[in-house]
Amino acid sequence: MPANLPPQYYELEREYRAEKDPREKLRMAEELLRMMPKHKGTDKLQADMKAKISALKKKIQQPGKPGGARHAPAHDHIDKEGAGQVILTGPPNSGKSSLLDILTHAEPLVADYPYTTREPLAGMMTYQTVQIQLIDTPPISPESYENYLSGLIRNADLVVLVADLAAENCIADLNFVVQKLREKRILLQPDVTEPPDDPRYCAKKSLLCGHKKYDDPSGEMFRRVADKYSDFTIVPTSILDDASLEAFKKAVFEQLSIIRVYTKPIGKEADFSNPVILPVGATVEDAAADLHKDFATRLKYARIWGEGKFDGQRVQRDFKLSDEDILEFHL
Ligand SMILES: Nc1nc2c(ncn2[C@@H]2O[C@H](COP(=O)(O)OP(=O)(O)O)[C@@H](O)[C@H]2O)c(=O)[nH]1
Ligand SMILES: [Mg+2]
C-alpha cells in the first residue's frame, strides 16, 4: 500500500535530516509524525518515526553522554514556571533588560550600549495573585541573532516585542525583528486561532510594548508603531511610570488567555493567595480536575461566587468559568 505522503512532508523531512540541534530535530520529528496519514501503508513509517522520537528524547535528557546533546546550543529551553512563559524580544537597547529588572527580582545587566545581554534570563513577575515568568533575551538585529532564540520563542506562551520609542529607526528595527523571526519560521501574530497552513511554521501570539514613552513626548512615534502594527495590542511603557508598568502586566495577563479561579472549602473562606490557573473557556470540571483527578470524577455540583452570578449559585460540571470566580466543590 503506498504511503501517499503530502509534498510538505518530504520538504520537512529533508530539513529534518539536515538539522543538527536535537531539540529542533525532535520538534520536526513530532511534526512529521503528525503529518503522516494514519493507515496501513504508513504503519512502518510511523513506527520508525516513533523510535526516532524516543531516541531523540533520550539524547536530550542525557546531555553528558557520548553522542549526546553536548553540542546543542545552550539556553534554547527554559522550564516553564507560573501561569505562563513570556519572552521579551526586540532590537538592541530597547529596554528589555530594564523591564525584566523592574518587573521581577531577576537582576539583568542594563546598560546604554547595545548587546549587553548575551544570555536569556528568567524572572517571575507578579500580577495581582498570579505569577508570570518573564524571559529577557539578547537583541535581534542585522548584527545579532542567537540561534537558540528560535527554540526559546517557539516554546513560549507569549511574545512581547519591545519597541524603542526613543530610536529614530524604531519601526524599521521592529520590522527587522519580525522579518528575521519569519525567516526562522516563527510568525508573530496578534492572535493565534489555528496553526499555520505550512506545518514548518509556528505562530506565536504577540503583544507590543512602546517603551521609553517619555522620550516620545508628542506620542508621534507611538502612533506610528500603532499604525504599522494596527492589529496588535500595544502598551506604552516607561520604567519611570508605575501606572504604565501595571498596564503592561495587565495586558500580558490578558494576552495569556488564562483565568484565575479561587477555591473554598464548604462553609469556609476562599484561598485568594493560590488561584487555580486555567485557560479561558475552562469549566467547573476542569477546575476540579486541576486540583485532583478524583475530584473531577466524584463531583456532584459546585457553588459559585463571582460577577454575573447569584452568590453561591449552584452550577453543574460543564459550567463555563470566568476570571476570579470562587468555587466550592460538592462531592
Ligand atoms: N528614557 C528611558 N530609558 C530607558 C527606559 N528603560 C530603559 N532605558 C535605558 O535604555 C538603555 C537600554 O536598556 P536595556 O534594558 O539594557 O535594553 P536592552 O538592550 O533591550 O536589554 C539603558 O540605558 C536604560 O537605562 C525607559 O523607560 N526610559
Ligand atoms: Mg538587554
Helix 148-155 to helix 22-35 angle (10° resolution) is 50
The tally of CA atoms less than 13 A away on the side-chain side of residue 60 is 18
- Answer yes or no: is the C-beta of 113 below 6 A from any ligand 1 atom: no
- Answer yes or no: is the C-beta of 117 below 6 A from any ligand 1 atom: yes
Q: How far apart are CA 223 and CA 210, in angstroms?
A: 10
Please give the pLDDT value at position 68.
43
Q: Compute CA 135 distance to the chain's CA centroid, rounded to the nearest angstrom.
A: 10
Closest ligand, as measured to the CA of 93: 1
The angle at the Cα of 139, spanning 100 to 178, to the nearest 5 degrees, equals 105
DSSP class per residue in 249-306 = HHHHHHHTTEEEEEE--TTS---TTSPEEEETT-BHHHHHHHH-HHHHHH--EEEEES
Please give the pLDDT value at position 64.
56
Question: Among 96, 97, 98, 242, which is best to mutate for testing ligand 1, by the most ligand atoms less than 8 A from CB?
Answer: 98
- Ligand 1, atom 5, residue with closest C-alpha: 212
Handedness of CA 189, 192, 198, 199 (dihedral sign): positive
- Answer yes or no: is the C-beta of 112 below 6 A from any ligand 1 atom: yes
Q: What is the number of the ligand 1 atom nearest to the C-alpha of 239?
A: 27
- Answer yes or no: is the C-beta of 116 below 6 A from any ligand 1 atom: yes
Please give the pLDDT value at position 228.
97
Å from CA of 209 to ligand 2 middle:
15
Closest ligand, as measured to the CA of 216: 1
Q: How far apart are CA 143 and CA 234, in angstroms?
A: 26
Q: How far apart are CA 4 and CA 98, in angstroms?
A: 52
Give the position of cell 522579518. Answer: 179
Q: How far apart are CA 128 and CA 274, in angstroms?
A: 11
CB-based contact 140:181 (threshold 8 Å): yes
Please give the pLDDT value at position 67.
44
Please give the pLDDT value at position 158.
98
Q: Dihedral through CA 43, CA 44, CA 48, CA 51, nearest 10?
A: 60
pTM of the model: 0.82
Ion ligand 2: residues, CB < 5 A: 96-97, 116-117
Å from CA of 110 to ligand 1 middle:
7
Domains defined along the chain, listed by start? 7-71 (no CATH), 85-255 (3.40.50.300), 258-330 (3.10.20.30)
- Answer yes or no: is the C-beta of 93 below 6 A from any ligand 1 atom: yes
Q: How far apart are CA 171 and CA 180, in angstroms?
A: 14
How many angstroms separate the Cα of 70 from the Cα of each of 59, 89, 301? 9, 26, 52
pLDDT tens digits, the chain, 331 residues: what are they?
677 888 888 888 998 998 888 888 888 899 999 989 888 888 999 999 999 999 988 887 775 555 444 444 468 889 999 999 999 999 999 999 999 999 998 888 888 888 888 889 999 999 998 999 999 999 999 999 998 999 999 999 999 999 999 999 999 999 999 999 999 999 999 999 998 988 889 999 999 999 999 999 999 999 999 999 999 999 999 999 999 999 999 999 999 999 999 999 998 999 888 899 999 999 999 999 998 888 889 999 999 999 989 999 999 999 999 999 999 999 9
Q: What is the number of the ligand 1 atom nearest to the C-alpha of 115?
A: 19
Å from CA of 165 to ligand 2 middle:
16
Nearest Cα neighbor of 31 from 254, 202, 239 is 202
